[in-house]
């Protein structure tokens, strides 16, 4: 049998420092775990010149931003995924 637990699902299209500030504000008000429901770091291309989310200059920078977010978010005790 599973026990239901409430989580806060948030979407945030910002680099880690911005998301960290958002989580700091929310965590101070709620005693619940957080799930990031959606986020994106994008690299504009000819086929998609202005995609939604922060624009990285290339895939290497996009990967670095993603790693920065994952390391920071997953180190937080209230961050579930």
Express each pLDDT in 14-36 by its tens digit: 999 999 999 999 899 988 898 89
Does 10 reside within a domain? yes
- Of 41, 32, 45, 49, nearest to 66 by C-alpha is 41
Task: State the Cα–Cα distance between residues 66 and 57, nearest whole angstrom.
Answer: 14
**Does any domain span residue 60?**
no
Q: Cβ(79)–Cβ(22) under 8 Å?
A: no
Q: Within a domain: residue 68?
A: no
Give a yes or no: residue 77 inside a domain: no
**Is the residue at 12 inside a domain?**
yes
Is the pLDDT at 37 greater than 60? The verdict is yes
* 60/66 Cα distance (integer angstroms): 10
Q: What is the mean pLDDT of residues 41-52?
A: 91
- Considering its fold, how many domains does the chain have in total? 1
Kindly state whether residue 80 falls inside one of the protein's structural domains: no
Q: Would you say residue 46 lies in a domain?
A: no
Range of the domain at 33: 1-39
């Amino acid at each position: 049998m599973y026990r239901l637990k409430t989580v806060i699902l948030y979407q945030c299209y910002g680099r880690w420092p911005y998301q960290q500030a958002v989580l700091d504000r929310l965590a101070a008000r709620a005693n619940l775990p957080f799930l990031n429901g959606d986020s994106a770091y994008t690299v504009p291309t000819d086929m998609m010149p202005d995609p939604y989310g922060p624009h990285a200059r290339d895939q290497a920078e996009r990967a670095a931003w993603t790693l920065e977010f994952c390391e920071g978010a997953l180190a937080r005790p209230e961050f579930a995924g």
